[in-house]
Amino acid sequence: MSTAEVLASVDIVALRLSPHSQRLEVLLHQREREPHAGQWALPGVIVNGRTPDNSLDAAAERALAEKARVQPRHLEQVGTEGNAFRDPRGWSLSTYYLALLDPDVDVEGEHLAFHDLDSLLSRRVLLPFDHGLLVERAVERLAAKSVYTNLPLYLVPERFTVLDALAAMQACLGQAVNGTSVRKRLERMKGEGWVEDTGEKHQPRLGRPQQLYRHTPREARAFVFDRSLLAG
C-alpha cells in the first residue's frame, strides 16, 4: 500500500446469546491473508473506489453476506476508529457495526466460529489490529441502549418466555435485573404491538408453565421506554 493511501474497512461486531450458557458470544473470522494470517478477527471488508459499495451500510451488508455469512435481526453503526498504528500496513480506519443475531443461528466452515465475549473483554483471547477495542465499544453501546430500549429482545428465540427476556437483558447489561421490571416492559410493548402473546406455554422440567411471547418489531428503529430498566 502506498504511504499516501489510507486503508478503510467496515467491520462487524456480531453478537449471539448462547442457548447453552446464556452468555454473549462474538462471531469471529479466521484471517486467511497477512497481516495476522491465521488469527481470529472481526469479519469485515475493505472499502475503496474499486469495491461495489455505494455506502457504509452497503459495505456492512456485504461484510455480513461474504465474511460473517449471517443475517442479523438488528444492525447499527457504532463508530469509527482510525490512526497510523492499528494496522501494520499504515494509516487505516474502521467503521464498525453492532449486529444482533438469533440465538439459534449457526455458522458453517472452519474459518467462522463464536467466541465467548468475556474471554475477549478480559483479554484472555487477543484480537489483531484494534478489534478488541471495537468489541468493547460495541458492547458498551449495547449496554447503554439496553437500559431504555428493546435491543436485548433481538437476542432471544423467536418464541420466548419472560425468563428468556430476563437472561438477555442481564447478559447485555452485565448485571442482575428485576424480573418484575421485565414483565412490565413486555406488557408495555405488547400494548404497542411490538410483542405478541402466542397463546402457547413452555413447560419446564421443574416449575409452572411459562407464557410464550413473540417479538414483532413494527419499525426499523428501536422501541424506547420512558424510564430506565435499572430504575425498577
pLDDT for 142 equals 98
Does 2 score more than 60 pLDDT? no
**In whole angstroms, what is the distance from residue 227 CA to residue 199 CA?**
28
Q: Going from the N-terminus, what domains does the chain have, and what CATH number goes with each?
A: 7-143 (3.90.79.10), 147-231 (1.10.10.10)
pLDDT for 4 equals 61
- What count of residues does the chain have? 232
Question: Angle between the 162-173 and 179-192 helix axes, to the nearest 10 degrees?
Answer: 110
Residues 6+ apart with CB under 8 A from 40: 28, 29, 30, 31, 113, 115, 125, 127
Does 163 score more than 80 pLDDT? yes
User: How many C-beta atoms lie closer than 10 Å to residue 59's C-beta?
Assistant: 23
Does 98 score more than 80 pLDDT? yes
Q: What pTM does this model have?
A: 0.96
pLDDT for 204 equals 83
Average pLDDT value over all residues in the chain: 95
Encode pLDDT of 203-213 as tens digits. 887 788 999 99
pLDDT for 6 equals 92
Residues 6+ apart with CB under 8 A from 229: 146, 147, 148, 169, 173, 177, 181, 182, 185
Q: Are strands 92-100 and 74-83 parallel, antiparallel or unpaired?
A: antiparallel
For residue 27, which of 122, 131, 129, 130 has the smallest C-alpha distance?
131
pLDDT for 228 equals 93
Does 197 score more than 70 pLDDT? yes
Does 92 score more than 80 pLDDT? yes
Encode pLDDT of 33-59 as tens digits. 999 999 999 999 999 989 999 999 999
pLDDT for 232 equals 54
The percent of residues above 70 in pLDDT, for the chain, comes to: 98
